[in-house]
Structure 1
Amino acid sequence: MQFPESWLREFCNPSLSTEQLAETLTMAGLEVEELKSVAPPFSGIVVGEIKEAVQHPNADRLRVCQVDVGQGSLLNIVCGAPNARVGIKIPCAMVGAELPPGEDGKPFLIKVGQLRGVESQGMLCSARELKLSEEHGGLLELPADAPLGQNIREYLQLDDTLFTLKLTPNLAHALSVYGVAREVAALTGAPLKAPSFPAVALGHQDKLAVKVSAPDLCGRFSGRIVRNVNTQAATPQWMVDRLARCGQRSVTALVDISNYVMFELGRPSHIFDLDKIHGGLEVRWGKPGETLKLLNGNTVTVDEKVGVIADAVQVESLAGIMGGDATSVSDDTKHVYVEAAFWWPKAIAGRSRRYNFATDAGHRFERGVDPGQTVEHIERITQLIIDICGTPETLCGPIDDTQINLPKPAPVTLRVARAVKVIGMPLTQAQCLEALQRLKLQVSEGEGTLTVTPPSYRFDLQIEEDLIEEVVRMVGYRQLPDTPPLAPITAKVRTEAERGPFAVRRALAGLGYQETINFSFVEERWEHELAGNPNPIKLLNPIASQMSVMRSSLIGSLLQVLKFNLDRKAPRVNVFELGRVFLRDAQSQNTDTTVAGFKQPMRVAGLAYGPRAALHWGQPDKAVDFFDVKGDVEALLAPLKAVFAPAAHPAMHPGRCASVSVAGQQIGYVGELHPQWRQGYDLAQAPILFELELDAVLQRQVPVFRAVSKLQPVERDIAVIVPESVTHAALMAAIYGANTQGLLKGATLFDVYRPQQGSASMQLGEKSLAVRLVISSDAATLNDEAIEAAVQAVLAHLQNQLQARLRA
């Protein structure tokens, strides 16, 4: 909310500087987001009047003006503004004046100059040249009663400061200048000038029939008929200026009056053209299919969840949000109906977002507007209408005040001992009482308790903690002692057998992957297709329709990142994410870190697409494949030994997917994207993906010292023929399972041969695997008999386990 300091000080004027006032408000919870001067610095500019304006002898677009600035003699000033004419009062920059700084940041100094051969003794200014607005159609015309020679900053009250407050939703009582002044008075003790609402004289007894059919929408509806108003009257300059300094442009006099009272007292209201209302008004919930053209030009369709004001023919207004075009006031309006109502906050909240716009009225009503002063505020609006738009024939009718369902404030009790414990500083009951009474709250005392009956404008006072907050605001947050924590702080030391998440990030970055961070709520289609999750966890209030469920896999997020980069012509994408997934789990209970019914484990996932390495003359332009990413997973898990086995995953290719296990426990999957989803995402090639449980990835083996053998190892190569179905893992398991008396130190597969057609030694469906065995002893140099015994033990175990035979 934005407002000028001068308006605030009309209600409450503490002996504080602007900066001190802003600090006081901020430390009381009303954060001052910005302080901004109304006008930039300039000097030497006064009110002047053009006494004579003649054509320049040497220029068609210039005039030579004689300007009176109250000094006795007239100034000769050359001006090119189209509205420079005799009789108008304008800002006149005297010789020596400094205009606001330009783009270079330097002020513009006015000197005596020659314009096309005519001396100019100053400069006549537009609003844009003074940087008061962007209007540059001509000179800034001042009212006829502007005193000649008066400094323009003083006359236009430009030495003022704009306060911009960033208010939390519970501070609806401060969404007006008077509401802020009420807070300032409580904080500083300065006197508060309360507004008065004298009743205007009645000129007729006519009332408009109003029926409130929805007490859960509208609790109070007040209105009055005012006849014979001059809607073409000009809004006074003081009101135009104040509205502008609140960020509201002037529209028409009646609209400006309504907006002015809203900023002044926090009361949104609406003024109808009485002659355009058919019959009476009915306040009700909308009906499906009803439409309304709003004041902003949009046509909206309402339903039974949106409140409306309707007449006998059509809907005329969105309740508490915006009026309709059909009954809007215009230059032809003669009679008006002024309305002020109390709308229940829950009935207004979120309605304007359905139509993709927001209004000042809706912003206030959905937070809560005082239901107790609708009549008084109508009196204020009526008096302004009479003062600005009144005519000798203007007649005001009685206020029709319908009270249907007003909120009943419930007393709230504050326990002083509880307040002391929560605030963390010693306080007496008298101090708490004094703090609450400064806020003008009705307080009754008990034994160690204070009971407050909230006034009608304080919707936020509902529980004991609300009163505790009011006490600490009045006492002052700066008074809170700096109390160190009493509990000992002990750093949680990670065991040596576990690494931190940052180490995992660093390892993946070292493998050429870049980290991404994505939302945990995703598109429901991803869960069905990529995670095989038919019943994802749905959000009650998603921020967007395509982010309606919580993810149970990180794969969808990585594919979205891939598609985003490919759309921007990225040739190579290697990305990973450490993130939380959300799974249904009936065994989970409520604790400090868990939620009943849901499991939220951390996972690490990666995706590789495009060339395996960046373009380089010394490396082949090879596309990444399954075995490249499998190697990355092995490097990430090292020194743990990963075991890969054929598996199925909803997001991965049925024949190119493997489960990843460590120490006999499955921890994730690695594989190529399923062809169906590759086609659905319009990918030129299939990305390779992996997703692992982070807890398992964090584990690592503690290094154990082992002496290096001083004896030379021996290498022996064997080639065995096995069925095509034998995997590398099965081959290694059979080799290491042989009883070699501890002599076998390592085995490496270095050749695979498949015959094109059957032969005497091999048949179709068989393959030859060549393995290099490393044999060594730490105790003594091996002889041929020991070496041969170890090789034969390996061959015998291969034959027994895999039906392998030695290749001739």
Structure 2
Amino acid sequence: MQFPESWLREFCNPPLSTEALAETLTMAGLEVEELKPVAPPFTKIVVGEIREAVQHPDADRLRVCQVDVGQGTLLNIVCGAPNARVGIKVPCALVGAELPPGEDGKPFLIKVGKLRGVESQGMLCSARELKLSEDHGGLLELATDARVGQDIRAHLNLDDTLFTLKLTPNLAHCLSVYGVAREVAALTGAPLKAPAFPPVAVSGADKLPVTISAPDLCGRFSGRIVRKVNTQAITPAWMVDRLARCGQRSVTALVDISNYVMFELGRPSHIFDLDKIHGGLDVRWGKSGESLKLLNGSTVTVDEKVGVIADGSQVESLAGIMGGDATAVSDTTESIYVEAAFWWPKAIAGRSRRYNFSTDAGHRFERGVDPGQTVEHIERITQLILDICGTPDTVCGPIDDVRVSMPEAAPVTLRVARAVKVIGMPLTQAQCADALRRLGLPVTEGEGTLRVTPPSYRFDLQIEEDLIEEVVRMIGYQQLPATPPLAPITAHVRTEAQRSGFAVRRALAGLGYQETINFSFVEERWEHELAGNPHPIKLLNPIASQMSVMRSSLLGSLLQVLKFNIDRKAGRVNVFELGRVFLRDPASLNTDTTVAGFDQPMRVAGLAYGPREGLQWSLSDKGVDFFDVKGDVQALLSPLPAVFMPGSHPAMHPGRCASVAVNGHAIGFVGELHPQWRQGYELAQAPIIFELDLNALLQRPVPKFQAVSKLHPIERDIAVIVAEGVTHAALMAGIHAADTQGLLKSATLFDVYKPQHGNTVMQLGEKSLAVRLVLGSDDATLTDEQIEAVTQAVLTSLQVRLQARLRA
């Protein structure tokens, strides 16, 4: 929030410098993000009045002006501004004046000079030349009551500073100049000038019928009718200036008044053109299919989750966010309806983001606005309307105040001992009570306790910790002692049978993959197509429409990274991600690290696309295939033995996908991207992808010492004929199941033969597998009988398990 220091000091003026005031606010939790002067430094620029303006004899666009600057004699100044005319008062830079630096960064010094042969004894200035705004359409015209010769900095109050506060959401009561002043008074003890709201004279009896059909949307709706107003009135310069210093441009007098009160008191309001309202107003939730053209020119569609203000024929306003174009005031407006309401914060929160815009009103209402002073603030708005837009015929009606559901202030108790423990410094009950009373909170003292009933503007005070925060804010965070922690710190030592997630990252990086970090929020389409998840976990308040659900798979994020890189002409992409996925799990309970109903396991996924290796002379540019990535998965799981079986995954090719199992438990999948998704992503070749449970990768067997045998190993080769569907894993399982004496050291498949035509030895649908057996013993040299016994046991096992027969 931005505001000028001078406006703040009108409500509370402590004896502090600008820098000290900013430090005080920051140390109380109201962080001052920036201090910026209203105007850059310049000197010898005063208020001047043009007494005479005649055409330059040698230039059509120049005028020779006689300017009174309070020195007794008129200055002869040549000016080319289109609005230079007799009678106006403008900034005049005297000879020797130093104007703000230009684009070259150097100050501009005013000297006596000649323009087309006519001497010029100064310079008449525009707002842009003084760096007050970007307006360069002509001279900056000053008020008619400006004193000639007065320094322009004093006249325009340019020795002012703009404060920019970075407020946390719980400090919504400080989203106004008066709200900040209230904090300054509490912090410094300086007197606070509270605004008065004297009721204006009521000269009419008209009321607009208002119905609140949604008490959970609006708790209070106040308004009044004002007739015969001058909507073409000019906004006073002082109001335009203050709005500009708050970052708000002037629009029309009525809009400016509404914005001014919002910055002054924190109360957003809206002014309707009364004659454009059909019947009365109904405050309700929207209906599916209803639309509304807003003041910003865009047309939005509402539904049952968006609050609206409607009349007898159509929706007229988005509740607490923005008014509609149909009832906007214009130059032809004669009668208006001034509205101020209390909207429940939860009913407004997030609605603006649905339409991709935000408003000052919505920013305040979704954090909370004082429900107790809608009538008083309407009185303030009305008085400004009468002062600026009033006419002799203006008729002001009574305020209609409809209350249906007001928040109830629940008392909050503060235990002094608890506050001392949380804050970490010794405090007395008197100090705590004084801090709360300085904030204007009613305090009832007990034995070691303080009881506070929050006022209506402090809707953020709900639990004991809220009061503790208020105490420490008033004391000042800079007063907290720098006490080191006393609790013992015990390092969590990972067992030798476990490895860290960082070790998994390092292993994948060693295999040539690069890590990516992606959002956990993904497109709902990804969940349906790539994860086969028809009911993903939806976000109540997505940050973007394409990030509306929580991911249950990492593959969609990796494919997005692939597409991003391919679109930028990357020929080879090897990426991985280690992250959390989110699954529905009714068995999950609430703990310190889990949420009831949801499982959040960690997974690791990878993707390989393009050539297996980078371009080099010694290797071919073979494209990556299933077996390359399968080898990477095996290396990642090593020394755990991985079993790959034909599998099925929504994102993978039906015939080129394998499930991965370790110790009999499935831990993930590896395979080629499904042709349908490859075509959808417009990929020249199919990437190979895998996704594994991270916990399975973190387990690893501890290496055991084993002496190297001093005896020679024995090798035997066997070839068996089996059915074509027999897998390598089944073959190895059958071989090792036969080793009951521990003499079989290893078995390696070294040849596969499939006949193209049937013969007497093998039929179509069969294949020959040649395996080398390595036998040995650490105790003694094997005898021929022992070797033959192991070989026959292997053959018998394969015959029983796989119906294999020895190939002659």
1:333-354 Cα shifts (integer Å, max 9, x gaps): 3343433333443444444444
Compare 538-547 and 640-649 and name the one that shifted more: 538-547
1:433-490 Cα shifts (integer Å, max 9, x gaps): 1111111122222233222222222212223322222222222222333333332101
3-state DSSP of counterpart to 2:622:
coil
- Rounded Cα–Cα distance in structure 1 between residues aligned with 2:34 and 2:784: 85
Give the equivalent residue in structure 1 for 2:385. Answer: 385
Give the equivalent residue in structure 1 for 2:3. Answer: 3
- Rounded Cα–Cα distance in structure 2 between residues aligned with 1:290 and 1:619: 65
**Aligned ranges for residues 26-425 of structure 1 at < 5 Å?**
26-202=26-202, 204-214=203-213, 216=215, 217-278=217-278, 280-285=280-285, 291-302=291-302, 306-312=306-312, 314-425=314-425
- Rounded Cα–Cα distance in structure 2 between residues aligned with 1:722 and 1:280: 87
Question: Is the Cα–Cα contact under 8 Å of residues 739 and 794 in structure 1 kept in the other structure?
Answer: no
Question: Is the Cα–Cα contact under 8 Å of residues 442 and 454 in structure 1 kept in the other structure?
Answer: yes
- Rounded Cα–Cα distance in structure 1 between residues aligned with 2:552 and 2:444: 54
1:646-665 Cα shifts (integer Å, max 9, x gaps): 33334333332223233443
Question: Is the Cα–Cα contact under 8 Å of residues 412 and 463 in structure 1 kept in the other structure?
Answer: yes
**Aligned ranges for residues 629-644 of structure 1 at < 5 Å?**
629-644=629-644
**Aligned ranges for residues 668-687 of structure 1 at < 5 Å?**
668-687=668-687
- Rounded Cα–Cα distance in structure 2 between residues aligned with 1:277 and 1:584: 49
- Rounded Cα–Cα distance in structure 2 between residues aligned with 1:221 and 1:582: 42
Task: Give the 3 Å change call, closer, same or farther, for CA 792–446 of structure 1 in structure 2.
Answer: closer
1:697-717 Cα shifts (integer Å, max 9, x gaps): 122333444455677767676
Normalised by the length of structure 2, the TM-score is: 0.90
2:805 matches 1:801: no
- Rounded Cα–Cα distance in structure 1 between residues aligned with 2:302 and 2:536: 32
- 1:580 deviates by 1.5
**Aligned ranges for residues 711-750 of structure 1 at < 5 Å?**
721-734=721-734, 745-750=745-750
Question: Is the Cα–Cα contact under 8 Å of residues 528 and 534 in structure 2 kept in the other structure?
Answer: yes
Question: Is the Cα–Cα contact under 8 Å of residues 735 and 797 in structure 2 kept in the other structure?
Answer: no
- Rounded Cα–Cα distance in structure 1 between residues aligned with 2:715 and 2:60: 105
- 1:601 deviates by 1.9
1:560-579 Cα shifts (integer Å, max 9, x gaps): 33333334443222111111
- 1:314 deviates by 4.7
- Rounded Cα–Cα distance in structure 1 between residues aligned with 2:188 and 2:258: 31
- 1:593 deviates by 2.0
- 1:796 deviates by 6.0
3-state DSSP of counterpart to 1:250:
coil
- Rounded Cα–Cα distance in structure 1 between residues aligned with 2:652 and 2:219: 59
Question: Is the Cα–Cα contact under 8 Å of residues 207 and 397 in structure 2 kept in the other structure?
Answer: no
- 1:283 deviates by 4.5
Give the equivalent residue in structure 2 for 1:698. Answer: 698
Q: How many residues align?
A: 804
- 1:735 deviates by 5.0
1:756-777 Cα shifts (integer Å, max 9, x gaps): 3334554433434445555667
- 1:383 deviates by 2.4
- Rounded Cα–Cα distance in structure 1 between residues aligned with 2:797 and 2:313: 94
3-state DSSP of counterpart to 1:49:
strand
Task: Give the 3 Å change call, closer, same or farther, for CA 513–390 of structure 1 in structure 2.
Answer: same
- 1:223 deviates by 3.5
Question: Is the Cα–Cα contact under 8 Å of residues 215 and 404 in structure 1 kept in the other structure?
Answer: no
Question: Is the Cα–Cα contact under 8 Å of residues 42 and 100 in structure 1 kept in the other structure?
Answer: yes
3-state DSSP of counterpart to 1:751:
strand
Question: Is the Cα–Cα contact under 8 Å of residues 223 and 337 in structure 1 kept in the other structure?
Answer: yes
Task: Give the 3 Å change call, closer, same or farther, for CA 788–769 of structure 1 in structure 2.
Answer: farther
- 1:115 deviates by 4.0
- Rounded Cα–Cα distance in structure 2 between residues aligned with 1:308 and 1:716: 85
- Rounded Cα–Cα distance in structure 2 between residues aligned with 1:305 and 1:536: 21
Question: Is the Cα–Cα contact under 8 Å of residues 722 and 767 in structure 1 kept in the other structure?
Answer: yes
Task: Give the 3 Å change call, closer, same or farther, for CA 629–184 of structure 1 in structure 2.
Answer: same
C-alpha root-mean-square deviation of aligned residues, in Å?
3.2
3-state DSSP of counterpart to 1:672:
strand
Task: Give the 3 Å change call, closer, same or farther, for CA 559–278 of structure 1 in structure 2.
Answer: closer
The one-letter amino acid paired with 1:174 is: C
1:197-256 Cα shifts (integer Å, max 9, x gaps): 233344x23322433343714444443443443322211111100001111111111221
2:622 matches 1:614: no
3-state DSSP of counterpart to 1:171:
helix
3-state DSSP of counterpart to 1:48:
strand
Question: Is the Cα–Cα contact under 8 Å of residues 608 and 624 in structure 2 kept in the other structure?
Answer: yes
Question: Is the Cα–Cα contact under 8 Å of residues 744 and 790 in structure 1 kept in the other structure?
Answer: no
3-state DSSP of counterpart to 2:147:
coil
Question: Is the Cα–Cα contact under 8 Å of residues 61 and 80 in structure 1 kept in the other structure?
Answer: yes
The one-letter amino acid paired with 1:89 is: K
- 1:501 deviates by 0.9
Task: Give the 3 Å change call, closer, same or farther, for CA 338–762 of structure 1 in structure 2.
Answer: closer
Compare 160-169 and 538-547 and name the one that shifted more: 538-547
1:715-735 Cα shifts (integer Å, max 9, x gaps): 676655544334333444455
3-state DSSP of counterpart to 1:271:
strand
Give the equivalent residue in structure 2 for 1:455. Answer: 455
Question: Is the Cα–Cα contact under 8 Å of residues 739 and 793 in structure 2 kept in the other structure?
Answer: no
- 1:607 deviates by 1.3
Structure 2, unmatched stretches of 5+, are none
- Rounded Cα–Cα distance in structure 2 between residues aligned with 1:603 and 1:305: 36
Compare 246-255 and 305-314 and name the one that shifted more: 305-314
1:320-343 Cα shifts (integer Å, max 9, x gaps): 333333443322333434333334
Question: Is the Cα–Cα contact under 8 Å of residues 750 and 771 in structure 1 kept in the other structure?
Answer: yes
Question: Is the Cα–Cα contact under 8 Å of residues 740 and 790 in structure 1 kept in the other structure?
Answer: no
The one-letter amino acid paired with 1:208 is: K
- Rounded Cα–Cα distance in structure 2 between residues aligned with 1:464 and 1:136: 55
3-state DSSP of counterpart to 1:342:
strand
Task: Give the 3 Å change call, closer, same or farther, for CA 221–573 of structure 1 in structure 2.
Answer: same
- 1:603 deviates by 1.4
1:562-617 Cα shifts (integer Å, max 9, x gaps): 33333444322211111122334444333322233433221111111222122334
Question: Is the Cα–Cα contact under 8 Å of residues 207 and 400 in structure 1 kept in the other structure?
Answer: no
Give the equivalent residue in structure 2 for 1:689. Answer: 689
- 1:643 deviates by 2.7
1:534-581 Cα shifts (integer Å, max 9, x gaps): 444444444455544433332233233333333444322211111122
Task: Give the 3 Å change call, closer, same or farther, for CA 402–698 of structure 1 in structure 2.
Answer: closer
3-state DSSP of counterpart to 1:170:
helix
Normalised by the length of structure 1, the TM-score is: 0.90
3-state DSSP of counterpart to 2:169:
coil
Compare 2-11 and 744-753 and name the one that shifted more: 744-753
Question: Is the Cα–Cα contact under 8 Å of residues 316 and 324 in structure 1 kept in the other structure?
Answer: yes
3-state DSSP of counterpart to 2:678:
helix
Give the equivalent residue in structure 1 for 2:522. Answer: 522
Task: Give the 3 Å change call, closer, same or farther, for CA 300–599 of structure 1 in structure 2.
Answer: closer
- Rounded Cα–Cα distance in structure 1 between residues aligned with 2:673 and 2:221: 62
Q: How many percent identity over aligned positions? A: 82
Give the equivalent residue in structure 2 for 1:654. Answer: 654
- Rounded Cα–Cα distance in structure 1 between residues aligned with 2:778 and 2:276: 106
Question: Is the Cα–Cα contact under 8 Å of residues 316 and 327 in structure 2 kept in the other structure?
Answer: yes
Give the equivalent residue in structure 2 for 1:555. Answer: 555
The one-letter amino acid paired with 1:727 is: T
3-state DSSP of counterpart to 1:362:
helix
- 1:7 deviates by 0.2
